[in-house]
């Protein structure tokens, strides 16, 4: 089992490395020249060359890559090519915001959706189940920006309960913070919960056809206990994987939601970076997103391994 966990981590590291190559090559393939953007139209060829030499932009690509990779590994993310501030300082605040929002969404949505999924599986075919399956299917089919826009229209414009813009600042009180992020929080919980609810329900119902569930029925076990004790433990693998994918989405995939609510998160920072051709910033953000994915997927795999008694207790 330890070997399997170790293998997963190794694969994760390899994946990250491949991703770093791709990120580096792709950001380099983007049109536009940083020196040109920074120094403006009036820059002389000499000053452009000097700027490139200073930043190592005249080196061969391979050298640039290893230099960049080394910097990344030592935590030196460089300075923003557009503003001159260090990238770490730019990211730090935004990452905090993103993590704060993601953690809150996770804390609310994961227990909520597993509970609702179990509820739907416990009473299949009843109105609870139908409402949940229909509702989640509808929510999965609707794009997240639509839900976000609708929430703004309804909760901010029509009812005026919540601010349309998620303004957070360090000096806010907790209550102000909570009110500020309520809107993106609601939208994100709705978006990620739908998938997790469906997966939990489907996973449980799939296991419910197994002979050992029939045996439990024939032993006179209550349906509630059958689902919670007999079925749920055999469904953990697929469920944690969906949870991991959804949590990764919370960190990296929320660009649209962050943009709509002007929430100062990491994804929005990356978009700004792309607009200003700030390649180091874009690269750093991309690596953080990929890293989050890889770490969460590894965690999900390890959780699935730990949940499997065959792997936990070899013969």
Partner 1 sequence: MSELFEIDNLQIQARKEDGTPIPIVKGVSFNVKAGQVVALIGESGSGKSTISMATMAYCRPGLEFPGGEVRLHGKDVLGMDPQDQRGLRGNNVAYLAQSAAATFNPAITIGEQVTEAAVLHGTLTQEEADKRAVALYHALELPDPDRLGRRYPHQVSGGQLQRLMAAMALVSGPDLLVLDEPTTALDVTTQIEVLKAFKKVIQEEGSAAIYVTHDLAVVAQVADHIVVLYSGEIQEQGPTEQIINNPSHAYTKRLMAAVKPTPTAGMGDMVDDKHDRDVPNIEVKNITAGYGGIVNGKPAITVLRDIDVKIRNSHVVGVIGESGCGKSTLARVMAGLLPAAKGEVILDGKKLEADLKHRSKDELQKVQFVYQMADTALNPRQLIGDILGRPIEFYRGLKGKQRREEVASLLRMVELPVEFESRYPSELSGGQKQRVNLARALAARPEIMLCDEVTSALDSIVSSNVIKLLQKLRDQTGVSFVFISHDLSTVGSFADEIVVLYAGRVVEQGPVDEVLAPPYHPYTRLLISSVPELRVGWLEDTMQKREMAVGIARGVEITDQGCPFYNRCPIVIDGVCDVEVPATMEPHKDHFISCHRSMEDIQEAEAAPQQILHGFEKAAPDEKKAV
Residues that bind partner 1 (CB under 8 A): 210-212, 214-222, 225, 229-230, 233-234, 307-310, 313, 315
Min. distance of Cβ 127 from partner 1 in angstroms?
20
| Locus of tokens 């890293």 | 291
Which residue lies nearer to partner 1 by CB, 235 or 246?
Answer: 235
Cα–Cα–Cα angle for 120, 122, 124, rounded to 5 degrees:
60
Q: Is 236 helix (H, G, I), strand (E, B) or coil?
A: helix
- Phi, psi (5° rounding) for residue 86? -75, 145
Q: Is 306 exposed, middle or buried (0-12, 13-18, 19+ CB in 10 A)?
A: middle
Rounded CA-CA distance 249/307 in Å is 24
| Angle made by CA atoms 300, 303, 309, in degrees to the nearest 5 | 140
Taking the least distance from each CB to partner 1, the nearer of 130 and 312 is 312
Smaller CB distance to partner 1: residue 58 or 214?
A: 214
**CB 150 → partner 1: shortest distance, Å?**
39
Residue among 130 and 225 whose Cβ is closer to partner 1: 225
CA 52, 56, 62, 66: dihedral to nearest 10 degrees?
A: -150
CB of 9 to partner 1, least distance (A): 22
Q: Which is nearer to partner 1, 57 or 217 (CB)?
A: 217
Q: Which is nearer to partner 1, 99 or 221 (CB)?
A: 221
Q: How far is the CB of 247 from partner 1 (least distance, A)?
A: 24
DSSP-assigned letter for residue 232: G
Least separation in angstroms between residue 300's CB and partner 1 is: 17
- Residue 207: CB minimum distance to partner 1, A: 9
Assess contact for 280 and 65: CB atoms under 8 A: no
Is the CB of 115 or the CB of 215 nearer to partner 1? 215
Question: Taking the complex as a whole, how short is the minimal distance between the CB of residue 229 and partner 1, in angstroms?
Answer: 7
Q: How far apart are CA 310 and CA 184, in angstroms?
A: 41
Handedness of CA 162, 164, 168, 171 (dihedral sign): negative
Cβ atoms of 81 and 279 closer than 8 Å: yes
């Amino acid at each position: 089992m330890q070997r399997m966990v170790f293998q997963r981590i190794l694969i994760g590291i390899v994946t990250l490395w491949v991703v770093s190559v791709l990120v580096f090559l792709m950001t380099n393939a983007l049109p536009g020249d940083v020196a040109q953007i920074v120094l403006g139209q009036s820059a002389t060829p000499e000053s452009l060359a000097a700027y490139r030499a200073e930043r190592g932009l005249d080196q061969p690509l391979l050298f640039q890559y290893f230099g960049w990779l080394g910097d990344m590994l030592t935590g030196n993310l460089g300075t923003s090519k557009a503003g001159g501030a260090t990238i770490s300082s730019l990211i730090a605040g935004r990452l905090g915001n993103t993590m704060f929002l993601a953690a809150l969404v996770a804390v609310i949505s994961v227990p909520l959706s597993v509970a609702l999924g179990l509820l739907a599986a416990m009473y299949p075919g009843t109105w609870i189940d139908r409402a949940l399956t229909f509702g989640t299917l509808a929510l999965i089919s609707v794009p997240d920006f639509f839900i976000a826009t609708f929430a703004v229209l309804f909760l901010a414009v029509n009812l005026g309960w919540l601010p349309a813009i998620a303004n957070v600042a360090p000096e806010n009180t907790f209550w102000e913070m909570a009110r500020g992020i309520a809107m993106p929080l609601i939208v994100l919980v709705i978006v990620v919960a739908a998938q997790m609810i469906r997966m939990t329900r489907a996973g449980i119902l799939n296991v419910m056809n197994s002979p050992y569930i029939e045996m439990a029925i024939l032993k006179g076990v209550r349906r509630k206990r059958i689902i919670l004790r007999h079925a749920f433990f055999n469904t953990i693998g697929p469920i944690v994987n969906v949870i991991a994918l959804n949590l990764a989405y919370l960190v990296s995939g929320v660009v649209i939601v962050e943009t709509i609510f002007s929430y100062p998160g990491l994804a929005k920072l990356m978009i700004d970076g792309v607009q200003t051709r700030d390649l180091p910033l874009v690269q750093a953000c991309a690596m953080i997103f990929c890293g989050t994915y890889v770490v969460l997927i590894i965690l999900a795999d390890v959780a699935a391994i730990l949940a499997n008694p065959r792997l936990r207790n070899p013969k």
